[in-house]
Structure 1
Amino acid sequence: MNLSQINNVYFIGIGGIGMSNLARYFKNLGKQVCGYDKTPSVLTSELIESGISIHFEDVINLIPKDFYTENTLVIITPAVPSTHSQWNFFLERDYVIKKRAEVLGLITKDTFCFAVAGTHGKTTTSGILGHILNESGADVTAFIGGIVENYNSNLIGSGKTITVVEADEFDRSFLHLYPNIACITSMDADHLDIYGTSEAIEKSFLEFADKIIDKRNLFITKELAIEGVVCAVNEDAIYKAFNVRVGNGSYIFDVQTPKLVLKDLHFGLPGRHNLMNALMAIAMADLFGTPTDAIAKAIASFKGIKRRFSYQIKTNDKIYIDDYAHHPTEINAVHQAVTELYPREKVLAIFQPHLFSRTRDFAEDFAASLSQFDEVILLDIYPAREQPMEGITSQWLMDKMTNNCKKLVLKNDLVAAILQSDAKVVVTIGAGDIGELVPTIKKAINENL
């Protein structure tokens, strides 16, 4: 399929974080873009403001007549049910219908593609890399799985020849891509509802790694049993971050590359995991030939990703941070960062588990991760695409935790429970709809300072 011959792009599920950046991309290319989503959101509002027509009813008559042509591409999200009227309308008339992953594959086939894979760190690493390339003047478009603070968007740039994409392991989506340079940030077990076993996940990552024929173009961490260029923090590696210190709330560090040392790089995102994300992005940009001064400048100006250790309140009296963490390893990273920054302060963590299957599969690890915090509030499990599983509840998870101070609350009671705590540092964690509660929590805390 040749995307240049497509005039119209119709999205079913346009409001998702991954679908919406594709919608922005095709709009930038001059295509006519329209779509459906189940519910209005901040993302759909922004798309509408940009000139994209969106409706929220599954009604065939709402599909514009301009889209009743053979040069219309229909893109669907995996969450769409098989009973969806508009989807069936297009199916019955033999329209070209693609999943988002397939469309990204088509785009990357025709561009020089940087692909960022890993069970953690994809969004931040691809955001940093996209920012570096865009700031250096490269003809790049970066598709990001979160809102980049610098651009208030999940799309960076409007280039035609270079792409940065998150290589998502969910549903083996990353196997559709055509990467020229890639990295794998981590390979922990996740999405066991799709894969079944951690061995199956590793096999899928190995298939992705095999897409990079020249392993000098694949960056990995020391922990991965994959051939590639090793990146490490404070350990010997081909790309090494070292001499790490903290000054004025930022990391300052040096990077050893195969050719030279980049001195005194400034980077504002907290947490050692983010240092590794930055190093991966630096390595990929350096291999591509990005000037070192442009790399240093972009690293210093990168503001982060919304809902990735995102400061909501930062005063002498109160700290409120919001984070998307939904896997035990990610919760550990949040704890490491917050205790490094605020070692003597009491920390309250509010966690909304995401998926019954993930809660079941990693219950012991979740309990251990959450037990590190001084105080924990649990919300009910966010089901997303799943039906409830007997016996798998937040109460069941909480019973495994060893904290002295822990409780389960309903969303309607959450603000009151937070205000009852004397913790100076508050962290909301989770990938469900807890992010929608952040403005309310922020407002309540500010009013009680």
Structure 2
Amino acid sequence: MKLMTPYFMKPLEEYTHVYFLGIGGIGMSALAQWCQSQGMHVAGYDRTPSAVSCMLESQGIPVTYSDDAEHIPIDFRNSSKVLAVYTPAIPQEHPQLQYFRTHGFDIIKRAALLGLISRSKRLIAVAGTHGKTTTTAMIAHILKQTEVPVTAFVGGIMRNYQNNLLLSQAADAWIVAEADEYDRSFLHLHPTLAVVTNIEADHLDIYGSEQAIIDSFEAFLKNIQDKGTLIAHEGVSARPPQGLHTLRYGTSLHCQYSIKELRYENEQLYFDLNISTQEQHTLRLLVPGEHNALNATAAFAVAQQIGIAPASIIDALSSFQGVKRRSEIWYRSPQYVLVDDYAHHPTEIENTLRTMRALYPQRQLLAVFQPHLYTRTRDFAAAFGKALGLADQVMLTPIYPARETPIEGVDSRLIARYCPVSARVVAPTESIEAVFEEWLPQATPPLTIIVMGAGNIEQHLPNFLNLLKTLEHEQA
């Protein structure tokens, strides 16, 4: 079956070259690798080098870090054979995007390409404000470990595979993908099985209100194929279409899949899973937190729906190592634990801090947070401050702007005003490492230091780690 779309005139497989604008993005990079695996020539642009873009370059995919159209490779300047793909993070005035537009190239968004790839396949799509990356990775891992053919597009680097893509050449392979609500991207997808982990206010610069977000999720649910299945957390308020086979999971006994009795043993999470068919199982996870127990429950339900035996699901989940930047422990010693996390929404911060408090109850908890986007900081400043109050001390870096321009009166000090604990705000003129070096010794070990944010804060982790080791040496 040929893949067709209203966005361009010919089937996808007739393009010999694909150029990605924003290729270093976690979603774009997986698509770039998939296109390369299909025999297409792939190249792209990104603003700065990153671990992801370097990974692509090591696989033979050229990446330019100049937005000048002259840096588009000569082989990618033939409009009859080149497809241009861009992410919403690319501004409309971007010189390379303008080049492709003015020279008559076929151009589509990232989400449209994912929709094309998955349209003729059996698709498992995972949506939700939080938890979709880990849940997607868990489902992909279960299928991979149980030898069910799977191609997976994940919004993070899976630690088991050191990649954000799993590939299968089998014609009947399942596709597992995140269904991103940003810019209503998930409306390009038509899943056989869909998961919705939760719905909360976010991306208000796009949606304007929480009700608009709920409406968008309801539109996504209408895209589920006939005789498909929805697996939704009990708190999801979006109404599924009448007659859609729907299963609920959560902590309440009225759910078809409910969890209870969470406990930690040797830093591993155990919990009991009750299923409405009178089954009960005990699961062990290497990733901590009630939110991950719920993510695993959603993954369990998906795997059971496609016919995988419970014992095989449990065994696969017990070997799931997590996703990079999701409660990823960088360092552990009697004095210090250093954790990296992608949390960039108040609920995610709260979940992460509660999890680390439960995992290391005898340690003081220090939080380093890099706010992401001026609009999100403006819209959720009070909630950010409250969530960060779960730590004993807080350090706030300047806002990571991503695609946005500054908003007058909106900076990290706005969050600090609502934070009930001591919050050291890093001024734009200060060095983050220098402030960290001055701030850290004010707390007495043993400490858990958790570094959070969706921008580039993880680039500072090697220097943070070196400082911890220096302090340990001095304290010895």
TM-score by length of 1: 0.95
Counterpart CA distance in 1 for 2:100 and 2:449 is 47
- 1:413-444 per-residue CA deviation (whole Å, 9 max, x = no partner) reads 23313432325111111111111111211122
How far residue 337 of structure 1 moved from its aligned partner, in angstroms, is 0.3
| Residue 470 of structure 2 is aligned to residue 447 of structure 1 | yes
Do the aligned partners of residues 446 and 288 (structure 1) sit closer, same or farther apart at CA in structure 2, a change above 3 Å counting? same
Q: Find out whether 1:94 has 2:104 as its counterpart.
A: yes
Is 1:296 paired with 2:296? Answer: no
Show structure 2 runs of 5+ residues with no match.
5-10, 241-245
SS of the residue aligned with 2:318? Answer: helix
- Identify the residue that residue 415 of structure 2 maps to in structure 1: 397
2:298 to 264, 280, 288: 280
The residue aligned with 2:211 is 199
CA distance in 1, matches of 2:439, 2:321: 27
Displacement of 1:305 in angstroms is 0.8
Provide closer, same or farther for how the CA distance between residues 62 and 399 of structure 1 changes in structure 2, counting only shifts above 3 A. closer
Q: Does residue 353 of the first structure (1) align with residue 371 of the second (2)?
A: yes
Match among 420, 425, 429 for residue 408 of structure 1 = 425
How far apart in 2 are the matches of 1:30 and 1:211? 30
Identify which range, 84-93 or 217-226, moves more after superposition: 84-93
Match of 2:20 in 1: 11
Partner of 1:176: 188
| Aligned with residue 146 of structure 1, among 156, 177, 180 | 156
1:27/1:418 CA distance change after superposition, 3 Å: farther
The answer for the alignment partner of 1:167 in structure 2 is: 179
What one-letter code is carried by the residue in structure 2 that aligns with 1:55? Answer: T
**What is the CA-CA distance between 1:14 and the residue it aligns to?**
0.9
Identity level (%): 40
Instruction: Give distance in 2, aligned partners of 1:446 and 1:438.
Output: 12
Q: Does 1:366 align with 2:381?
A: no
Q: Summarize the Cα distance change of 1:345–1:81 in structure 2 as closer, same or farther, 3 Å threshold.
A: same
State the partner residue of 1:419: 440
Residue by residue over 1:313-351, the C-alpha shift from the partner in whole angstroms, topping out at 9 and shown as x without a partner, is: 112221111111011100110121011112232111111
Decide whether the 8 Å contact of 1:13 with 1:80 is kept in 2. yes
Structure 2 distance, partners of 1:390, 1:60, is 33
CA displacement 1:112-162 (0-9 Å, x = unmatched):
111000000011100111111111112211111111111111112334532
Secondary structure of 2:401's counterpart equals: coil
CA distance in 2, matches of 1:349, 1:40: 27
TM-superposition CA deviations, 1:165-217 (whole Å, max 9, x none):
11111000001111110011010100001101111111111111121255861
Offset at 1:300? Answer: 0.6
Q: 1:356 to 1:61 in 2, by over 3 A?
A: closer
Cα separation, 2, equivalents of 1:84 and 1:356: 21
- Report whether the alignment pairs 1:436 with 2:446: no
> Paired residue for 1:70?
80
For 2:107 and 2:114, how far apart are their aligned partners in 1? Answer: 13
Give CA-to-partner distance per residue, 1:274-313, whole Å, 9 cap, x none. 1101111111111011233331221011101111101011
Matches within 5 A, 1:181-192: 181-192=193-204
Shifted more, 52-61 versus 327-336: the winner is: 52-61
1:70 CA displacement: 1.7
Out of 168-177 and 49-58, give the one that drifted further: 49-58
Q: Which residue of 2 aligns with 1:84?
A: 94
Q: Is the 8 A contact 2:192 2:229 kept in 1?
A: yes
Aligned length: 448
**Residue 243 of structure 2: aligned partner:** none
Instruction: Report the secondary structure of 1:256's partner residue.
Output: strand
C-alpha deviation, 1:269, in angstroms: 0.8
Given the alignment, which residue of 273, 279, 289 partners 1:261?
A: 279
Point out the more displaced range, 220-229 or 15-24. 220-229
1:339-387 residue CA offsets vs partner (Å, 9 max, x unmatched): 1112232111111111111111112211111112111111122111112
Partner of 1:56: 65
Aligned-residue offset at 1:96: 1.4
For 1:187 and 1:170, locate their aligned partners in 2 and report how far apart those are by CA, in whole Å: 12
Corresponding residue of 1:30: 39
In the TM superposition, residue 243 of structure 1 has moved relative to its aligned partner by 4.2
Rounded Cα–Cα distance in structure 2 between residues aligned with 1:313 and 1:220: 35
Is the CA contact (8 Å cut-off) linking 2:329 and 2:339 kept in structure 1? Answer: yes
Tell me the distance in 2 between the aligned counterparts of 1:147 and 1:418. 31
SS of residue matched to 1:290: coil
Looking at structure 1, the residues matched to 90 and 390 of structure 2 have their Cα atoms a distance apart, in angstroms, of: 38
Give the gaps of 5 or more residues in structure 1. Answer: none
1:224 to 2:236 alignment: yes
Scaled by the length of structure 2, the TM-score of the pair is 0.90
Call closer, same or farther: CA 1:216–1:58 in 2, change over 3 Å: closer
- Residue 301 of structure 1 aligns to a residue whose secondary structure is coil
Tell me: CA distance 1:400–1:283, structure 2 relative to 1, closer, same or farther (3 Å): same
Task: Work out whether residues 324 and 431 of structure 1, in 8 Å CA contact, stay in contact via their aligned partners in 2.
Answer: yes
Say if 1:124 and 1:91 are closer, same or farther in 2 by CA, change over 3 A: same
- Distance, in Å, in 2 between the alignment partners of 1:58 and 1:401 is 39
Q: Give yes or no for contact 2:264–2:359 (8 Å, CA) kept in 1.
A: no
Counterpart residue number, 1:238: 256
